[in-house]
Structure 1
């Protein structure tokens, strides 16, 4: 699980890259964050998974 403040800080940084950020949520997969920077012809996929077993 991720805290809302952690996600807010992370997305606060991404808003400088792109106007559109897409989230993909699933119960069996890490959170996938898709970012398409405004002035570049590329797509960035970030994966965020919780630490298990600590």
Structure 2
């Protein structure tokens, strides 16, 4: 699963609200009924963004 700009913006918003990358991945996994690979993609992107890296 490749994340689009809208999804990356949503991750950024959650980080700005103080959520951790793990919490974001768990939350989006439940809300969007993602499989484990997609949850890991979200978690990796959130970690990258939190570190100031490009996901």
Q: Which has the higher helix share?
A: 2
TM-score > 0.5, shorter chain as reference: no
Could you say which TM-score interval applies, normalised by the shorter chain?
A: 0.3 to 0.5
Q: Which has the higher strand share?
A: 1
- Higher Cα Rg, which structure: 1
